[in-house]
Structure 1
Amino acid sequence: MRIRPTRQQLLGLLPARLVLVHGPREPGALYLSFDDGPHPLHTPRLLDLLARHGARASFFLVGQRIEQHPALVERIVAEGHALGNHSYSHRQFHRLGLRAQLDEVERTDRLLQDFDRAGAHRFRPPRGDVSLPLLLAFARRGRSLAYWSYDSLDYQQRPAAELAARLQRQPPADGEVVLMHDDSDCAAQILARLLPAWRDEGRRLHALPAARA
């Protein structure tokens, strides 16, 4: 049995309206999430793959990359995926004061709203770096922070076949939020192996529920 890191265990104790670690635990449901995009090479390939298998996902985007590749953000929205906030510059949040952290969030909020007109977006901090002051600020503002319950490890420069085999041996449970990235081709390689099998097993791939406005 997998043992979650302590940070995930602690965040999982908080109300889901403040920190979403799991998605709804519907039978067969999984929630793919992709950080660090959009990327001009890897994001289109990933979107093509998701479309072929009728899968939906959540894309936690970096503000600077939104500005560089707006057509990709438009495509993400047009194909039924959800947008999330992954800061403006992907700086290490533990090196920033609270005001600088909130500036990173708010700047990206404004960019995202131009694409999907959503009143609110879930925020996932770079590298999962969550501080108590940031949590309290989000609680005061009624904001929602998004985490994950299953780490694909696709950022570890390990062969995609090895990581896919791990996902097959230790599959995510119903309602799990799977952490992946769309700034390399590793996630697409893993999912090319897994999506057909998951479809045959009756798995359904969803975007995360919308944040409260």
Structure 2
Amino acid sequence: MARFHSALALALGLATVGAGAAATGTPSGCKGTLYLTFDTGNMRHAELIADTLARHGVKATFFLAQEKTTRGDSALDASWAPYWRARVAEGHAFGSHTWRHGSFRGDSGTLVRYRLQDGSSETMDAAAICAELQRPDTRFQELTGRRLDPLWRAPGGRTTPNTLAAAQSCGYRHVGWAAAGFLGDELPSETYPNSLLLQRALERLRDGDIVMAHLGIWSRKDPFAPMFEPLIAGLKAKGFCFSTRRGQT
């Protein structure tokens, strides 16, 4: 629920999560560059989103955690190896989203409180934080033969100074998202219908914005995933190009 609460706050303009617009160099012929990013979520629409990206020739950045999926397995199980190998072959970028998809809740001295999805908490030092980020990296290499890029995203966008310092010490740079880049795919569709979310994204996104969505969300009744077709087409019509977060600062 931490992810949903922080996301709702952001959507209502009550919070800013992670990085805003990134400094970019705009490719020739583009009016601006956007960065599509996807967290694993429940993977329900993973194939649809991959097909949409391929059809439009768009490269994205995927942040991976060992989350439960609608197939009854988890996103980094061997059953998902063909999916991830196909995305590697397409040239996308990949980062860690932690292994257990917990929430970094606060610092105490040199330690960090990490709240797990079952409501329990544990205290982590820098080495434990690095292990939590590195485990998806190790698993991804087992599945695809490729390491993750040196990127990570905290679940719910929650970070602490100690967490960021630990991640940096083991080579992972945090990637947040722009306020306009929060697509709202985890908000209630009854009050945030797809038409509203699509219109808002097309109107608000600007050069350098990092855009955040999921490969599947448990809570949303009317999934946003089919809207990536008109969203990407509409953004291209406005002159935007797309890139990954690989190599960006």
Shorter-normalised TM range: 0.7 to 0.9
| Other-structure match for 1:157 | 188
CA separation in 1, counterparts of 2:61 and 2:208? 14
Residue 207 in structure 1 maps to residue 233 in structure 2: no
Which runs of 5 or more residues in structure 2 are unaligned? 1-11, 67-73, 106-114, 116-121
1:52-67 equivalences under 5 Å are: 52-63=55-66, 64-67=74-77
Residues 25, 174 of structure 1: 8 Å contact kept = no
Cα deviation per residue 1:84-117 (whole Å; 9 max; x = unaligned)?
A: 1111121223224234433321211211233253
Match of 1:147 among 155, 173, 176: 176
Query: Cα–Cα, structure 1 residues 55 and 107, in superposed 2: closer, same or farther, change >3 Å?
Result: same
Greater mean alpha carbon deviation, residues 59-68 or residues 151-160: 59-68
d(CA) in 2 for partners of 1:202, 1:53: 14
Contact 1:23 1:177 in 2 (8 A): no
Deviation of residue 75 (structure 1)? 1.5
Which residue in the other structure is 1:28 paired with?
A: 32
The number of residue pairs the alignment matches comes to 199
Say whether residues 1:111 and 2:175 are aligned partners: no
Query: In the alignment, which residue of structure 2 is the partner of 1:44?
Result: 47
Residue 93 (structure 1) aligned with residue 127 (structure 2) = no
* TM-score normalised by L of structure 1: 0.81
Q: CA deviation at 1:38?
A: 6.9
Q: Which amino acid aligns with 1:35?
A: D
Partner residue in 2 for 1:179? 212
Residue type of the alignment partner of 1:207 = T
Letter paired with 1:47? A
TM, length-normalised to structure 2: 0.70
Whether contact under 8 Å (1:62, 1:108) holds in the other structure is yes
Please state if 1:130 is matched with 2:159.
Answer: yes
Q: Please identify which structure carries the higher helix content.
A: 1
Aligned-residue offset at 1:196:
1.5
Aligned equivalents of 1:82 and 1:101: distance in 2?
22
Q: Which runs of 5+ in 1 are unaligned?
A: 13-20
Matched-pair contact (CA < 8 Å) for 2:46–2:216: yes
Match of 1:168 in 2: 202
Shift in Å, 1:124:
0.4
Residues 87 and 104, structure 1, Cα contact 8 Å, conserved in 2: yes
* Equivalent residue, structure 2, for 1:191: 228
What is the CA RMSD across the aligned residues, in angstroms? Answer: 2.7
- Percent identity over the alignment is 28
Paired residue secondary structure (1:65): coil
Distance in 2 separating the partners of 1:4 and 1:176: 19
